Structure 1
Amino acid sequence: MNRGPKPTGPTQRMLRVGELVRHALASFFARDEIEDETLTGAVITVPEVRMTPDLKIANAYVMPLGGDRAEEIVAALNRHHRFIRGRIAPSLDLKFAPDLKFFVDDTFEEASRIDALLRSERVQRDLHEDDDQEPDSD
């Protein structure tokens, strides 16, 4: 039996659980419970958490305030992923707590790159070239 095209992208459940994990991580990071010199004093934001379809893995995209030492901080979080999982699991209210994997969130960097491209002389020239052309009067 064909049920039509498979949905692409995350399901509502994946999005809901991702938000649940994101909030739990943000609360955990605010408490500063990890004893690691790399993380001492680091203010870490969690813009997004993407869940795998089976909800077993949470890919958390994080960024330290100011973006300083992002790779170093993500490496430290990945070293402590089991500890973090154990600390946030009670607040998740899930049958199984997902395994955590941390990544540097590069969306701001990517947005800046795209903005710079759009402001470049070459793109501006192409945009103004279209303005200079007169519409056909046929």
Structure 2
Amino acid sequence: MGKNKFHDGPGPSQRQLRVGELIRRALSEVLARGDVHDMELNRMSITVGEVRTSPDLKIATAFVLPLGGRGQEDVLKLLAQNKSELRRAVGKKLGLKFTPDLRFRLDETFDQMDETRRLFAQDEVRQDIEDGFDGDADGPDGPDGDAG
């Protein structure tokens, strides 16, 4: 029962990917232009990193992050309070027959990239990289993939 609905099955269809990207662009533009009648929300710079749609295209989940990463909970709250107006603005901009219900989550990919950078900066990890992973992970052909 603990499955994530975004990662089950064969992955998103081309239509889901296309609609998600169209919504991402439209939502980014709406937020950048301050098209919402909420002064607090308009004062914030918000990055929309990705939008994933459900297979039936009825739900669009936008992964967002405020500029600098500060005020994350405030951003989620303000976006949720204004989601009807945001949905109307996105639908109008895209001319979709049916605009999906918008949901908002924090985009954690930046945190993951920071953690990856931190790991690569560790002496023992850097040493492994510089030594060419002297383990068996490269297989019999060595790190370059050729036998000679």
Distance 1:123 1:31, change over 3 A: same
In 1: Cα distance, 2:132 partner to 2:29 partner: 51
In 1: Cα distance, 2:77 partner to 2:85 partner: 14
1:1-138 equivalences under 5 Å are: 8-36=10-38, 38-127=40-129, 128=131, 130=133
Deviation at 1:16, TM superposition (A): 0.5
Deviation at 1:68, TM superposition (A): 1.6
Length, aligned pairs only: 126
Identical-pair percentage: 42
Deviation at 1:86, TM superposition (A): 1.3
Deviation at 1:37, TM superposition (A): 5.1
In 2: Cα distance, 1:91 partner to 1:78 partner: 20
TM superposition score normalised by structure 1: 0.80
* SS, match of residue 58 in structure 1: strand
8 A contact 1:38–1:72 mirrored in 2: no
Post-superposition CA distance 1:64-92 (Å, at most 9, x none):
21112122112210121111111221222
8 A contact 1:14–1:51 mirrored in 2: yes
Deviation at 1:57, TM superposition (A): 0.5
Task: Give unpaired runs (5+ residues) of structure 2.
Answer: 1-8, 135-148
* Aligned-pair Cα RMSD in Å: 2.1
Deviation at 1:126, TM superposition (A): 4.1
TM superposition score normalised by structure 2: 0.75
8 A contact 1:38–1:73 mirrored in 2: no
Task: Give unpaired runs (5+ residues) of structure 1.
Answer: 1-6, 132-138
